Amino acid sequence: MTQPFDATAASAAYRNALEVIGAVEPTIAGAIRAELDDQRSSLKLIASENYASPATLLTMGNWLSDKYAEGTVGHRFYAGCQNVDTVEQAAADHAKALFDAPHAYVQPHSGIDANLVAFWAILANRIESPALAQASAKHVNDLSDEDWTTLRKALGDQKMLGMSLDAGGHLTHGFRPNISGKMFHQSSYGTDPETGLLDYDKVAATAREFKPLILIAGYSAYPRKIDFAKMREIADEVGATLMVDMAHFAGLVAGKVFTGDFDPVPHAHVTTTTTHKSLRGPRGGMVLCQPEYADAVDRGCPMVLGGPLSQVMAAKAVALAEARRPEFQTYAQAVADNAVALAEGLMKRGVKLVTDGTENHLVLLDVSSYGITGRQAESALLDAGIVTNRNAVPRDPNGAWYTSGVRIGTPALTTRGFGVDEFDRVAELMVDVLSSVTPTTTSAGAASKAKYVLADGVADKTRAASAELLDKHPLYPGLDLN
Ligand SMILES: *Cc1c(COP(=O)(O)O)cnc(C)c1O
């Protein structure tokens, strides 16, 4: 499932690059080599990670990095941007074609940055205020203190409605640790306590009462599809802008697993994403939007972003070109099929899953029936060479730090070529580990939330079994640094 590549050419490219790097700073050449070994030898189940192609990765190491290119294609604040224009145009064109989007802005450096661009664009587009229009038309360096005061007042007390954190929402959707929690009043919608599923009637009721400017849909830990046509109806009814953050599942949209009502792009006014998760591109972000938001979105740099990373925009173009090939649809379907196999493999061995299954690339385990916290599960799995991350489950009694859940996903191992049988085996290995963990008892006699003992031999046995799976599906087959 890896994007096919010429292993001889890629090996030579990396060997030579590491020789040049190592001559200046051997520590870094060593860390780059070691990272490949680590990635190759661990069972990576982190739902937000993947393995980009050698072509995508190689595109990031060159002199495009040396160019300043503030502004947009054909309209730069620096001279000599013709090649960056080619790069940015290509990336935007691929994004528009892949997602059938009227407009694409490919400069955001990450998903969080893409959301900030979107928030600002929605505010600028929706708030009718001559003072605001005047101020936001200026270059950010030209805004006086007075302009800023006017801006803040003109924005007023704007409201954002998003999915609650413990239901799987993201902290950029109006929560405290992110500036969105300071820019907006926030209210959130959760999931049904019985089924764990989104209840659209409840979302609608909350929206009617709260009257948000922005209704956000999207998640990083909800294992189900979202009906974006329904979300748009709710947004329209209350006069909100529908913003969808598809950071996690963009690969399933690109690969046509999520279509019709489940494809956010035609329904949302503004769609944001990362490019490095299921989409399998370079670390970065992107904003897609309807034409009426395009001008405001294009002001992202310098409004809230630093100068564009031209080398990363170039890598986005390469990865998006890959995602437009039919093989990527096969990959995306395999990601979803593998997630079902993983979920079923866990459930038939007695593991409780949030929503009792999955419809996307991720699975959320509730490990409380093992008498352990998410933190203990995460650490014990890591001892056995299985890389996951702990994650709160809805109404989690252990809070966001220790948690009762573990989040896993299939994009990375599917890139290595794992299929449904291998994912069933992964489920078996995970269950072996989870059922061999005992919390350490504290001096007060209570079970610790962090310390644990993993039964003798389980870590070694699991590592050996994963090594077998990993050897069968090598990462970057044929790539040899020696
Ligand atoms: C991962 C994620 C982000 C943040 O992406 P970064 O590239 O880490 O800034 C934003 N929103 C959602 C829903 C995510 O899952």
Nearest CA to ligand 1 atom 10: 111
Which domains are delineated in the chain?
63-323 (3.40.640.10), 329-472 (3.90.1150.10)
Nearest CA to ligand 1 atom 4: 111
Ligand 1 atom nearest the C-alpha of 277 is: 1
d(CA 329, CA 257): 8
Mutate to test the pocket of ligand 1, among 48, 107, 112 (most ligand atoms within 8 A of CB): 112
d(CA 132, CA 384): 56
**SS3 category, 86:** helix
**What does the chain come to in residues?**
482
Q: Is 169 left (phi over 0), alpha (psi -120 to 50) or beta?
A: beta
Question: 274 alpha carbon to ligand 1 midpoint, in Å?
Answer: 6
- Any catalytic annotation for residue 245? yes
Calculate the alpha carbon distances from 467 to 39, 166, 257, 331 in Å.
12, 34, 30, 23
Q: Alpha helix (H) ranges present in 42-184?
A: 54-58, 82-99, 111-126, 130-137, 145-155, 180-183
Nearest CA to ligand 1 atom 6: 111
- Any catalytic annotation for residue 274? yes
Ligand 1 lined by 220 (C-beta under 6 Å): yes
Please give the model's pTM, rounded to 2 decimal places. 0.94
- DSSP structure string for 384-418: TTEE-EEEPPTT-TTHHHH-SEEEEESHHHHHHT-
Note down pLDDT in tens along the chain; length 482 residues.
Answer: 788 899 999 999 999 999 999 999 999 999 999 999 999 999 999 999 999 999 999 999 999 999 999 999 999 989 999 999 999 999 999 999 999 999 999 999 999 999 999 999 998 888 877 777 776 677 666 777 777 667 666 777 789 999 999 899 999 998 878 888 877 889 999 999 999 999 999 999 999 999 999 999 999 999 999 999 999 999 999 999 999 999 999 999 999 999 999 999 999 999 999 999 999 999 999 999 999 999 999 999 988 899 999 999 999 999 999 999 999 999 999 999 999 999 999 999 999 999 999 999 999 999 999 999 999 999 999 999 999 999 999 999 999 899 999 999 999 999 999 999 999 999 999 999 999 999 998 878 888 899 999 999 999 999 999 999 999 999 999 999 99
- Any catalytic annotation for residue 277? yes
Q: How many CB atoms lie within 10 A of CB 260?
A: 10
Known binder of ligand: residue 198?
no
